[in-house]
Amino acid sequence: MPPRWKHSAMMAPGGPELEILAPTGGRTTVPLDPVPFLIGRQDNNHLVLRDNRASRNHARIVFEADQYWVEDLNSRNGITVNGEKVERAVLADGSVIGFGMEESYALVFRSMRPVGLRTTAPAGLKRLRSILEVARTLSGSLSTDHVLASLLEAAMSVTGCERGFVLLREGKGLAIRIGRDVAGAVLSDKDLTVPPEVLCASLDRRRELLSMTLEEYGHIVCVPLLRVSMAGGEETAVLGSVKDSVGVLYLESRQSRADLSGTSGELLQSLAVEASMILENARLIVQERLKERMERDLDLARTIQRDLLPDQFPSTGWFRACGVSVSSAQVGGDYFDLMPVGEDRWAAVLADVSGKGVSSALLASFLQGVFLAATGESTSAATVLERVNRFLLHRTNGEKYATLVLVTMDRAGRLVWVNAGHCRPLLWRRTGEVFELRAAGLPVGMLEEATWEIYRQQVVPGDLMVLYSDGCSEARNAAGEMFGVRRVGETLLEYAPQGAQAVANGLRRAVEAFAAGEEQGDDLTVLVVEYHG
């Protein structure tokens, strides 16, 4: 890939110059102007090396005590003069400067340039430089087609070809991404001389990394576009293998043979690499925007879930409760709620809608509305589940379901619950015993004919019941071990004497300590109801 040289407006005739030896065998000569003369990969250097192994600011040439010196600027690979690694060295006529890398550029220092010889770059090269600068600027935008059009224009200018196309991989074949002629007119697949399937076959069986020949079709130039891997971020960009191609830069001329001698062939290969970099950057931008959109969706889902939860809990009187919910990286459809049903009864529910993301969080909000509307003073728990079941079936056609536990408790200590495929609640008696409450029944939203059994239990003052989601019992640590129902019960035994709030907060802390920062796949949701008589 040719380096890019930026010169000052004034150049002293007869001054020193640098002969640039490219790894591909090409060479060009530029004046050593201005001084100090900066060399490196970054665009603010006077000589920009198109080699990602070069440091941003690699070396410089200075003039001191009537001599020219080359200095290493703390580069990653260092510099050499006539094959010997140096930090600073005097340059004599013919001194060869290397950059500490195999098969990279070398500079030959020429102390005097004869007056009258051509010292400026060829007109085509100047035009290419300006076009590449435009392309480099445009590569930061989303107009990839605009950038590729500029590259095609540059390629036709360098080679003398009249038409150009960029074809990209699409499935097992190639499809035209953009086509232009030398006048800028848009070309279609009908204007392509070589069939795409022939190009694809030639691309797959080629032996060289950066060239293809199709002499049987006339004056055709094809340069593969190789996949670029940003293995080390900005510092390292690695070209793919011979078989790892994303497409082809195709050029043709009907009037004259394309110029591929010396600098032209090297610049054409440089263009192909530029195109590959642009396509890779565009792909990364699309990926990043998709990621950002997913993050926004997850944030929205977390907000929906947070807004579903009650912000106040009864903390005095015969019925007390407390709940917590901690969002995971993957958003599910957990929610819990409680409400008074008449003067002497409370209802509580904890549900988990199947799936992840915004759809599950939204469905959980609808489910909450159905729960609030269906729960009445004279409505049985089984009737509430039947209504919720019909709602889900009609809205999602069986594609979404929810597990839930619905509980009612009255002033007399009559505890009633229905479990629709959810984690079994735990009941702590003031005697210090813990019981896992029975469960039977399908999740709601799966079958129209589903039925649920109602369970009853008499509780006494001080007893409390824990409802939790599988994000609690199935939380995992770094070793892949689950928190488990046993640990839920042990935590309940530890905190139950202190009341509902202590149990809810204690369970959250216990699970978080067990997970020790490991990312979890589900939300942690706990609801504790307590009877005080």
Q: Mean pLDDT throughout 409-423?
A: 93
Q: How far apart are CA 41 and CA 99, in angstroms?
A: 11
Share of the chain above pLDDT 90, in %: 31
Instruction: For residue 315, give the H/E element and its range.
Output: none
Angle at 121 between CA 120 and CA 127, to 5 degrees: 130
Q: How far apart are CA 143 and CA 138, in angstroms?
A: 7
pLDDT tens column, 68-100: 999 999 999 999 999 999 999 999 988 999 999
How sure is the predictor about 214, in pLDDT bands with cuts at 50, 70 and 90? low
pTM, two decimal places: 0.52
Looking up tokens 């495929």 gives 421
Distances (CA, A) of 339 to 186, 304, 320: 67, 19, 12
DSSP 8-state symbol, 306: H
DSSP 8-state symbol, 186: B
Distances (CA, A) of 165 to 49, 198, 261: 27, 15, 21
CA atoms within 13 A on the CB side of 17: 21
Q: Tokens representing 160?
A: 């003398």
Task: Please list, in sequence order, all residues whose beta carbon lies within 8 angstroms of the beta carbon of residue 154, skipping any fewer than 6 positions away.
Answer: 127, 128, 131, 132, 135, 271
Q: How far apart are CA 241 and CA 208, in angstroms?
A: 10
What is the three-class DSSP state of 295? helix
Q: How far apart are CA 39 and CA 45, in angstroms?
A: 5
Task: Please list, in sequence order, all residues whose beta carbon lies within 8 angstroms of the beta carbon of residue 91, skipping any fewer than 6 positions away.
Answer: 61, 67, 68, 69, 70, 81, 97, 109, 111
**Closest C-alpha among 251, 250, 247 to residue 283:** 247
Instruction: For residue 446, give the H/E element and its range.
Output: none
Q: What is the pLDDT of residue 11?
A: 39
pLDDT above 90 for 169: no
pLDDT above 50 for 9: no
CA 456: distance to chain centroid? 51
pLDDT tens column, 275-326: 777 777 777 777 888 888 877 877 776 776 677 788 889 999 999 999 998 8
Instruction: For residue 433, give the H/E element and its range.
Output: none
Q: What is the pLDDT of residue 416?
A: 92
Average model confidence (pLDDT) across the chain: 80
Q: How far apart are CA 287 and CA 299, in angstroms?
A: 18
**Closest C-alpha among 341, 205, 324, 193 to residue 253:** 193
pLDDT above 50 for 410: yes
Most confident of 8-12, 192-196, 489-493: 489-493
Handedness of CA 476, 477, 481, 482 (dihedral sign): negative
Q: What is the pLDDT of residue 235?
A: 43
